[in-house]
Structure 1
Amino acid sequence: MHQLTYDDIKAATDRIAGHVRPVTLAPVDPGTIRTAHGGPLDGRSEEPCEVWLALEFMQHTGSFKARGAQNFIQAHREAGTLPNAGVTIASGGNAGLACAWAAQQQGVRATVFLPTVAPAVKVTKLRDLGADVRIVGAEYAEALEACEEFAATSGALASHAYDHPLIAAGAGTLLEEIHARIPGLDTVVVSVGGGGLFAGVATAARHHNIRTVAVEPENCRALNAAIEAGRPVDVPVDSIAIDALGARRATALALHAARQDDVRSVLVRDSEIVHARQALWDHRRVAVEHAAATALAALTAPDSHVPDRDLPTRPTAPSRSYRPGSGERVAVVLCGANTDPSDLVHPAES
Structure 2
Amino acid sequence: MDHLTYAEVQAARERIAGRVRPVVVAPGDERGRVWLALEYLQHTGSFKARGAQNFLLAHAGAGTLPEAGVTIASGGNAGLACAWAAGGLGVRATVFLPDTAPAVKVARLRSYGADVRLAGREYAEALAACEEFAAASGALASHAYDHPLIAAGAGTVLEEIRDRLPGLDTVVLSVGGGGLFAGVAAAAREHGVRVVAVEPDGSKALHAAVAAGAPVDVAVASVAADSLGARRATALAVHAARQEGVHTVLVPDDAIVRARQALWDERRIAVEHAAATSLAALEQVDGERIAVLLCGANTDPSDLVAR
TM-score normalised by length of structure 1: 0.84
Q: Distance in 1 between matches of 2:183 and 2:54?
A: 12
- For 1:35, the equivalent position in structure 2 comes to none
Counterpart residue number, 2:286: 323
Gaps of 5+ in 1: 32-48, 301-320
* C-alpha distance 117-191 of structure 1, shift in aligned 2 (>3 A): closer
User: Structure 2 matches for 1:274-313, cutoff 5 A?
Assistant: 274-300=257-283
Go from structure 1 to structure 2 and tell me whether the alpha carbon gap of 1:142 and 1:188 turns closer, same or farther (over 3 Å shift).
Answer: closer
Say if 2:205 is the partner of 1:222.
yes
* Separation in structure 1 between the aligned mates of residue 48 and residue 167 of structure 2, nearest angstrom: 26
8 Å CA contact retained: 1:2, 1:165: no
Aligned to 2:151, the other structure's residue is in SS state: helix
Provide the C-alpha distance between the structure 1 equivalents of 2:208 and 2:117, rounded to a whole number of angstroms: 34
Match of 1:174 in 2: 157
Matched to 1:64, the amino acid is F
- Report matched runs for 1:115-126 at 5 Å: 115-126=98-109
Match of 1:54 in 2: 37
Aligned residue among 231, 234, 246 for 2:217: 234
Q: Which stretch of structure 1 is more off in the superposition, 132-141 or 333-342?
A: 132-141
1:105 to 88, 92, 111: 88
Partner SS, residue 281 of structure 2 = helix
Asked if residue 247 in structure 1 is aligned to residue 230 in structure 2, the reply is: yes
Q: Counterparts of 1:17 and 1:118 in 2: how far apart (Å)? A: 31
- Percent same amino acid at aligned positions? 74
Cα deviation code 1:109-155 (max 9, x no counterpart): 11112333333332221121011223344554443233212211221
Given that residues 66 and 99 in structure 1 are in contact (C-alpha distance below 8 angstroms), is that contact kept between their aligned partners in structure 2? yes
Distance 2:112 2:80 in 1: 8
CA 340–177 in structure 1, closer or farther in 2 if over 3 Å, else same: same
Q: Which has the higher helix share?
A: 2
Unaligned runs of 5+ in 2: none
Larger radius of gyration between Structure 1 and Structure 2:
1
**Residue from 151, 157, 177 that aligns with 1:194:** 177
Provide runs of 4+ in structure 1 moved above 6 Å: none
- Inter-partner Cα distance in structure 2 for 1:70 and 1:78: 12
- Aligned mates of 1:192, 1:120 — CA distance in 2: 23
- The one-letter code matched in structure 2 to 1:297 is A
Q: Quick one: distance in 2 between partners of 1:8 and 1:30?
A: 36
The Cα shift of 1:2 comes to: 5.5
How far does the alpha carbon of each residue in 1:146-196 deviate from its partner, in whole angstroms, 9 at most, with x for none? Answer: 321221122110000000000000000000101111111100001101001
8 Å CA contact 2:44, 2:77 repeated in 1:
yes
Match of 1:309 in 2: none
CA change 1:141–1:194 in 2 (3 A) is closer
Stretch of structure 1 that moved more, 83-92 or 4-13: 83-92
* 1:25-174 correspondence runs (5 A): 25-31=25-31, 50-174=33-157
Over the aligned positions, Cα root-mean-square deviation in angstroms equals 1.4
The corresponding residue for 1:23 is: 23
Give the secondary structure class of the aligned counterpart of 2:8.
helix
- Relative to structure 1, the CA distance from residue 11 to residue 272 in structure 2 (aligned partners, 3 Å threshold; closer, same or farther) is same
SS at match of 1:111: strand
Describe the superposition over 1:289-320 as per-residue Cα deviations: whole angstroms up to 9, x where unpaired. Answer: 111111011114xxxxxxxxxxxxxxxxxxxx
Structure-2 change in CA distance of 1:262 and 1:134 (3 Å):
same
TM-score, with normalisation over the residues of structure 2?
0.96
AA of the residue aligned to 1:344? L
User: How far apart are the structure 2 equivalents of 1:282 and 1:139?
Assistant: 31
1:338 to 295, 298, 307: 298
